Chains A and B, each alone.
Chain A
Amino acid sequence: MGSKILNGLVYLSTILTFGALGFLVLYILFNGVQYLTPSLFEWTYTTQNVSMMPALITTLYVVLGTLFIATPIGVFTGFYLVDYANRDNKIVKAISMATDTLAGIPSIIYGLFGMLFFVIFLGLQFSLLAGILTVTIMTLPVIIRATEEALIATGMPIRQASYALGAGKLRTLFKVVLPMAMPGILSGVILATGKVIGETAALMFTLGTATLLPQSLLASGRTLSLHMFILSGEGHNVNEAYATAVVLLLFVLVINGLSTFISKRLSKGGK
Chain B
Amino acid sequence: MVTQPKIKVEDLKLWYGDFRALHGVDLDINENEVTAFIGPSGCGKSTFIKTLNRMNDLIPYARVEGKVELDGQDIYSKKMDLNNLRKKVGMVFQQPNPFPKSIYDNIAYGPRTHGVKKKSELDEIVERSLRQAAIWDEVKDHLDRNALSISGGQQQRICIARALAVEPEVLLMDEPTSALDPISTAKIEELVSELKQEYTIVMVTHNMQQASRISDRTAFFLNGHIIETDQTRKIFTNPNQEETENYISGRFG
Contact = CB atoms under 8 A, between A and B. Distances in A.
Contacts of A171: 113
A157 interface: yes
A212 B99 CA distance: 52
Interface in A158-183: 158-168, 171, 175-176, 179-180
B246 interface: no
Contacts of B114: 166
B97 A270 contact: no
Contact of B83 (A88, A159, A167): A167
Contact of B90 (A158, A164, A271): A164
B95 A157 contact: yes
A159 B98 CA distance: 10
Given A163-B58, A165-B162, A158 B99 contact: yes
Nearest to A267: B100
A39 interface: no
Contacts of A86: 60
Interface in B50-69: 53, 55, 58, 60
Interface string B86-100: 110011010101111
B70 to A, nearest CB: 14
A87 interface: yes
B93 A161 contact: yes
A163 B86 contact: yes
Contacts of B83: 166-168
Interface string A217-251: 00000000000000000000000000000000000
B41 interface: no
B166 interface: yes
B84 A166 contact: yes
B101 A270 contact: yes
B185 interface: no
B136 to A, nearest CB: 20
Contacts of A87: 60
> Which of A88, A161, A163, A176 has the most chain B CB atoms inside 10 A of its CB?
A161
B99 A164 contact: no
Contact of A162 (B53, B87, B90, B109): B109
Contacts, number: 71
Contact of A166 (B95, B102, B110): B110
B110 A165 contact: yes
Interface string A71-97: 000000000000000111000000000
Contacts of A163: 55, 58, 86
Nearest to A155: B97
A157 B156 CA distance: 13
Contacts of B31: none
Nearest to A89: B60
B159 interface: yes
B105 A271 contact: yes
B86 A164 contact: yes
A88 B100 CA distance: 30
A271 B100 CA distance: 7
Given A166-B114, A271-B102, A271-B105, A160 B58 contact: yes
Interface string A30-60: 0000000000000000000000000000000
Contacts of A164: 53, 55, 86, 90-91, 93, 163
A160 B101 contact: no
Contacts of B102: 271
Nearest to B85: A166
A270 B60 contact: no
Contact of A176 (B60, B99, B146, B163): B99
Nearest to A159: B58
Contacts of B91: 160, 164
A167 B146 CA distance: 21
18 contacts: A86-B60, A87-B60, A158-B100, A159-B58, A161-B97, A161-B159, A164-B90, A164-B163, A165-B86, A165-B110, A165-B113, A165-B166, A166-B83, A166-B86, A168-B83, A171-B113, A271-B101, A271-B105
Interface of B: 53, 55, 58, 60, 83-87, 90-91, 93, 95, 97-102, 105, 109-110, 113-114, 146, 159, 162-163, 166
Given A160-B97, A176-B109, A180-B100, 17 more contacts: A156-B58, A157-B97, A158-B100, A159-B58, A160-B93, A163-B86, A165-B110, A165-B166, A166-B83, A166-B86, A166-B110, A167-B109, A167-B110, A171-B113, A179-B101, A270-B100, A271-B105
Closest 10 CB pairs of A and B: A166-B87, A165-B110, A164-B91, A157-B97, A166-B86, A166-B83, A161-B97, A270-B100, A167-B113, A86-B60
